[in-house]
Amino acid sequence: MNMNTILTTVRDAVADDSTVKTWTQATYTADHTVFLGIDSRNPPPHSSYPAVSLYPIQKLSGYGQDTIVHAIGVSVGIHDNTLAAGGKSNVTEYNGMQRIETFRGKVIDAVVMALVGLSLRITRIETEYSAIEFFPFFLATIEIIAEEETEFGSSFLQYSESDAGEGAGNGGYVLLPGSLEDALFLPDSTDALLLPN
């Protein structure tokens, strides 16, 4: 399956998810913003938060693979400098600490449903948090590994969705000559991808 198909399907699912919208409206009186890719040199302003960014990380395919493996990145972020009410007199708690996890969970639910709808099997979800480094921004960077089963007799090599009319005899796909797709990796500063200047 082409990575663009995966990303655009996930993009639309997250953008349209009613559970995510209900939570962001109730918590921040704002809809969430979804980015497919991000310009780390010119990050979105805090008015774009809550925010979700989607991007490709890696793809593994080839005759040595039992499945085709897709790795996608999901970064979620909120802008929140409010303090939690009540609690112990000697405890200070920022609402963003719990809210970033709630937001992350709701976004991941939408992502997983979209991937399952594409008949992909989720094999790993790994999350890294940046909860204090960029206050009042709370960020979570997630890597999702999804595997695509292949049918007996099909090729494990890289396929690309064809232009209209091409590859019609091969399920709408054409074989790319040469080599497998190179893995795509993010810069080291992935936790700051959603931060504005």
Q: 95: domain CATH number?
A: 3.30.70.1700
Predicted pLDDT of residue 109: 97
Query: Mean of the pLDDT values across residues 96-125?
Result: 96
User: Cβ neighbours of residue 150 under 8 Å, at least 6 residues apart?
Assistant: 67, 68, 156
- Beta strands 68-79 and 137-148 are antiparallel
The pTM of the full predicted model, rounded to 2 decimals, is 0.77
Predicted pLDDT of residue 166: 37
Residue 197: inside a domain, yes or no? no
Q: What tokens were used for 108?
A: 């991941």
Residue 134: inside a domain, yes or no? yes
Residue 145: inside a domain, yes or no? yes
Query: Mean of the pLDDT values across residues 46-52?
Result: 94
Residue 83: inside a domain, yes or no? yes
Per-residue confidence at 19, pLDDT binned at 50, 70, 90? very high
Considering its fold, how many domains does the chain have in total? 1
Predicted pLDDT of residue 195: 54
Domain containing 69 equals: 3-192
Residue 67: inside a domain, yes or no? yes
Predicted pLDDT of residue 180: 31
Name which residue leads in pLDDT, 151 or 112.
Answer: 112
Hunting for tokens 């936790």 — which residue is that? 191
Residue 173: φ, ψ to 5°:
-120, 150
Q: What percent of the chain has pLDDT over 70?
A: 76
